[in-house]
Amino acid sequence: MNRRTFLMSTAAAGAVRASALASPNDTVRIACVGVRGQGQSHIQVYGRMKNVEVAAVCDVDQNILNDRAALVEKIFKKKPATYVDVRKLLEDKSIDVVSIATPNHWHTLMAIWALDAGKDVYLEKPCSYNMYECRQLMAAARKHPDRIIQHGTNSRSGVAIRDGLTKMKEGLIGDVYLARGLCFKWRPSIGHAPVEAPPPELNHELWTGPAPMKPFTRNRYHYNWHWFWDFGNGDLGNQGIHEVDIARWGLGVRYPTRVTAAGGKFMFEDDQETPNTLTALYEFDAPGTPSGKKMMEFSVRPWMTNHEGGIGDGRNPDGKLRDRNTVGNLFYGTKGYLAIEWYRKYAFYLGEEQEPGPTMTQEGNNWANFIDVVRSRDTSQQNAPIEEGAISCTLVHLANISYQLGRSIRFDEKTWSCPGDAEATALFTRRTGYRKPYVVPKLA
C-alpha cells in the first residue's frame, strides 16, 4: 500500500466511524468495564456530561455489577445492559466507547479487544502491565488509526498543570535539569489473608484473566491486588504513574537510557509483594545540555513523612494537617523551581531567595477532553494520547525490573531491550506466559 492509498483508506475509515455521531447533539453510548472503585468514578463523571449515556456496565463481581447498574439507572433514568464477560459486551454494535477501569493485568488485552471491535477507548492508568504490553498497545493504536484511545493520566487535562508547565517551558525557571516525582501516601498494612473459596458472586476465572491462576485470597482481590506482581505494579504503577508522567512530560524527554531503583518492604509483615518504599533514578539523553543528559527521580513512601517544596504544607483552621499525603512534582531549573501538587495546583519559587512566583489552582476533566475528541475525531486536540501514556508506563516497568534484579539497567528504544542483559529483557513480559485464551497478541 502506498502512502496516498494509506491516507485515503485511513480517512475513509475515520469518516465511517465518525458518521455514527452525525452531530454534536448525538448521544455517545458508553460501556464502563470494571466498576467497583475508579470505574464508579467513570460512571459519575459521564453522568455530568451532556449527550452522553452509560448504556452498559460490566464487572466480574455480580454484587458490584448489580449495585452499579442501579447507580446508572438513577443517574441516566435508564436501565443499562449488564455483562460479566467483556467479550459479550463487545458484540454490542450500539456501543461507541468502552471505558476501562479493571485491574492493571487486564488493561492492554481489553483495550486491544475493544479497538478490534470498532470501539473508542478510555483506558485507565497504567495502560499496560509490562513492557511487552506497552509495545503491543502502541501497535494496536497504529493498527486502528480511526479509533480514539485516551490514557487515564488525568493531569494531562489539568488546567493549572498545563499552564504551569507552559510557563516553565517558556523559561520562567531557566534551564530545567532535574524533575522529582513524589508519591508519599498513607498505606496501612494489608495483613495476612487465608486461602479460601472464591465468593459466589465472583467469577474468579474471568477476574484472573491473563494472569496465572492462583488460589483465592481476599488480599489478592479488591484494591489490594495492586501489591501483587501477578496483577499490579505497586504504588509506582498505581498513584505513581501520574507523577512519573508529569515529570517526563515537563522534562520533555521520552525513554530513559539508564534506570536504577532500590527499596523494599519496611515496617509491615504482611502479604504484600511489591515494595512499599522505593526510589528510582532515570537518566535521559539530552543533546545540547552541558552534561548531555537530564535526570529524573521518583520516590514512594507509605507512612510517616515530611512535606517537600510546599506540596501538602499547611494546617486547617482546626489545627490538623491539610494533607497527610505528599503527592506531586518538583522541577529544578537555573532560575528557580516549580512545585506541582496532585493534579490541580502549581506554585513557582524564583531566584536564590525563592521568592513566590505565579501560582494557580484549577482542575480539568480528562474524560471531557476524550469525549470532545470522540465527537470531533480531531486527535490534535487530545490531551492524553495513548502513546504518551505507554512511554510513561515504560518508566514504571523498567524501575520495577531494576528493583527486582537489584541493579541498574540500560534501555534501548530501537531494539526494545536492555542491551547485553538477557535477564532484564526477559522480565519485559510474564515469566509464565499468558494464560489461554487471555493472550495479549504480538503486533510488533
pLDDT digits (tens, 9 = 90+) for 324-343: 999 999 999 999 999 999 99
How would residue 416 be classed by pLDDT, with cut points 50, 70 and 90?
very high
What is the mean predicted confidence (pLDDT) over 401-422?
Answer: 98
Domains and CATH numbers, the chain: 3-155 (3.40.50.720), 158-366 (3.30.360.10)
What is the mean predicted confidence (pLDDT) over 11-26?
Answer: 50
How would residue 10 be classed by pLDDT, with cut points 50, 70 and 90?
very low
pLDDT digits (tens, 9 = 90+) for 42-93: 999 999 999 999 999 999 999 999 999 999 999 999 999 999 999 999 999 9
Q: Is 16 a residue whose pLDDT tops 70?
A: no
Give CA–CA dist 63/442, Å, rounded. 35
How would residue 24 be classed by pLDDT, with cut points 50, 70 and 90?
low
Residue reference for cell 480517512: 11
Q: Is 6 a residue whose pLDDT tops 90?
A: no
**What pTM was computed for the model?**
0.93
Count of positions (residues) in the chain? 444
What pLDDT score does 288 carry? 87
Whole-number mean pLDDT of the chain? 94
Q: Is 264 a residue whose pLDDT tops 60?
A: yes
What pLDDT score does 289 carry? 87
What is the mean predicted confidence (pLDDT) over 8-35?
Answer: 64
* Burial label, 324 (beta-carbon count in 10 A; 0-12, 13-18, 19+): middle
What is the mean predicted confidence (pLDDT) over 137-150?
Answer: 98
What is the mean predicted confidence (pLDDT) over 16-29?
Answer: 64
How would residue 20 be classed by pLDDT, with cut points 50, 70 and 90?
low
What is the mean predicted confidence (pLDDT) over 147-157?
Answer: 97
Give CA–CA dist 177/168, Å, rounded. 12
What pLDDT score does 7 carry? 37
Of the listed ranges 21-25, 282-286, 400-404, 422-426, the least confidently predicted one is: 21-25
What is the mean predicted confidence (pLDDT) over 148-153?
Answer: 98
What pLDDT score does 27 carry? 96
Q: Buried (b) or exposed (e) across 385-419, using 16+ Cβ within 10 A? A: bbbbbbbbbbbbbbbbbbbeeeeebbbeeeebbbe
Give CA–CA dist 231/307, Å, rounded. 31
What pLDDT score does 403 carry? 98
What is the mean predicted confidence (pLDDT) over 358-372?
Answer: 97
Q: Is 305 a residue whose pLDDT tops 70?
A: yes
Residue 37's CB is within 10 A of a number of other CB atoms, namely 12
How would residue 23 be classed by pLDDT, with cut points 50, 70 and 90?
low
What pLDDT score does 85 carry? 98
